[in-house]
A and B are shown apart, each in its own frame.
Chain A
Amino acid sequence: MSQEPTTTQTGSGIEAVALLPEPAMRLRDVSVAFSGRMAVRNVTFDVAANKVTSMIGPSGSGKTTLLRSLNRLHDLTKGAVVKGEIQLGDIDVYGNELPTTLLRSRIGMVFQRPNPFPTMSIYDNVVSGLRFNGIKKKSILDEAAESALISAALWDSVKDRMKAHASTLSGGEQQRLCIARALAVEPEVLLMDEPTSSLDPVSTQRIEELMVELKNRVTIIIVTHNMQQAARVSDDCAFLLMAEDRAGELIEFAPTTKIFNNPSDSRTLDYIQGRFG
């Protein structure tokens, strides 16, 4: 943080990366299938930069599946096929222009259950992403760790025990450590897969507050089964529902206030009024 703000050089290739164009991510006719069975069908929407976009819907509606297709996490799953077009800025996520590892360093992810690396210390956890990406310089690592931990509202409680094992933290703290770990790589987009589903109400609230604060740093896409959460934190909202053949479909995409107050589709209304799901 001690670094002086330098004048930004406009026009360089890297500069163009940092200044993320609108929309941050673009999904066009995205379908995901596992061994020939459709899980998500023809989803299209735009993710606005520096906003929180939520995906809601009953279980089985394909929210998580869709989210994991955004950073190519299905690449590991045998028999998974992603069709359609997904763009990060103007980069084709499934194209050849950006290697998958670099893509993933630019689209961070936080998982349902806190998953800090148990063999690493708190510090090593936070900087693990930077090390994966070839950054070894201690000064950069230290600075990034501090900044990320501050952003994740964890700095004050861990700054004196950076060498302690990550498992010594509480569940809520572990999840914030995972957020810090993702932030340290300075991604442009942060995917959150039901990040509070395994946490207590107080920790949940902390993380919800965090999401709002983080907006000026990253674009957030969150999957949640908690409608109130979506209403509280997100700017835009995508509602997905399972079709008759069990594939998830996008029913409605709109600003969150519209989804919750005046949805266009009757099924959205049914869902937010708790008639099913």
Chain B
Amino acid sequence: MTVQSSSESLDRGLARGVMPRAKSGSTYNYVLRGVALLFTAVLALFVWSVLHQSWPAWTKYGLHILTGNNWSPAENNFGALALILATLITAGVAILFAVPIGIGTALTLNFVVPRRLAAPLTTVVELLAAVPSVVYGLWGLNVIVPWMSTTVQPWLASLTNSGWPFSGNAIGLGISTASLVLAIMVLPTIVAISRDVIATVPRDLIEGALSLGATRSQVLTRVVLPNAKIGLLGAVSLGAGRAIGETVAVAMVIGSSPSMPHSFFSLGSTLASTIATQYIDSSPMHMAALGALATILMVMTASVNAFARALVNRKPKS
């Protein structure tokens, strides 16, 4: 460890010595720093704009926005608890499904599939990430929603005798369908990051385990996964961040109802889907309240992402 860190600082020192900053007066340098400054300013403006827009709502309603459970713009009532809950529930369920499948897929691509097949299969998984979210929404609305209402939801309801958490009408739209679509949408993110993380597990350790007589599953469960767990947590968090912020596809299948979710079959609205469906043509206070939703969304996704990046970018020990 000491060796590495000292060579790292050596590298950095070299970088400084070899690449001296251009004379501070040069145009090149002005342009570079100018653009960096511009981008910083835009970032600041961006954050400020969301905060500024939401300000009237925060001053008027305060924490009621976070704790109130009645969102009805017509009555100027802006309690977003139901929206926050729906956001967390859909993202949570999506992650619950996507994590085992995603990490399993990453392990398969890195360790099981022959290399000749791994490249095309990886491409296929990555293409899942490239499909626009409006297309997922379209597919969800026209294919998943009918399938859920005729097949999956009746089956789930039969499990609990139409009791909680699978109570209510099986109409297809709603929290459960949104969760499923989200799970599919965040899967490629989890796979891609997990693969990178898993690939950093030193080959030394894998060979060490094999040379002791470990089977393939033992190598994966006792050496690879434990050594990658922090990075994998980062991958999962990045997926969660995407699920929380996904907008259009969710708006198309969740049924747009800002009421408190009481079952997986409930209709709902997430923070993002509410902004998407109500922003246009809203009254000034309504828009400020939507700004408040955007603020909540921004704080949630930014912190999840910052946390995730810190874990994923962490340099491996030894």
Contacts and interface: CB of A to CB of B under 8 A. Distances in A.
Direct contact of A and B (CB under 8 A): yes
Given A73-B207, A115-B202, A104 B115 contact: no
Interface in B200-257: 202, 204-215, 218, 222-223, 226-227, 229
Interface residues of A, number: 31
B228 to A, nearest CB: 10
Q: Is the interface of B mostly helix, strand, loop or mixed?
A: helix
Nearest to A120: B226
A76 interface: yes
B59 interface: no
A129 B213 CA distance: 7
Contact of B218 (A106, A118, A132, A181): A132
B317 interface: yes
A247 interface: no
B24 interface: no
A219 interface: no
A105 B207 CA distance: 13
Contacts, number: 79
A102 B181 CA distance: 45
B313 interface: no
A111 B215 CA distance: 19
B204 A111 contact: yes
A128 B213 CA distance: 10
B115 A78 contact: yes
B214 A101 contact: yes
B123 interface: no
B110 to A, nearest CB: 12
A128 B211 contact: no
Contacts of A133: 212-213
B20 interface: no
Contacts of A185: 212-213
B114 interface: yes
B6 interface: no
Contacts of B213: 101-106, 129, 132-133, 185
B318 interface: yes
B205 to A, nearest CB: 6
Contacts of B318: 118, 167
Contacts of B204: 111, 113, 115
A106 B212 CA distance: 8
B227 A119 contact: yes
B130 to A, nearest CB: 28
A222 interface: no
Interface of A: 71, 73, 76, 78, 101-109, 111, 113, 115, 117-120, 128-129, 131-133, 167, 178, 181-182, 185, 191
Interface of B: 114-115, 202, 204-215, 218, 222-223, 226-227, 229, 317-318
27 contacts: A71-B211, A73-B207, A73-B210, A73-B211, A76-B206, A101-B213, A101-B215, A104-B213, A104-B214, A105-B212, A106-B213, A109-B208, A115-B202, A115-B204, A117-B205, A117-B226, A119-B227, A128-B222, A131-B222, A132-B212, A132-B214, A132-B215, A132-B218, A132-B222, A133-B212, A178-B208, A182-B211
Given A73-B211, A78-B114, A129-B212, 6 more contacts: A120-B226, A132-B209, A132-B213, A132-B222, A178-B208, A191-B211
Q: Which 6 interchain pairs have the tightest Cβ spacing?
A: A105-B213, A129-B212, A109-B211, A115-B204, A132-B214, A119-B226
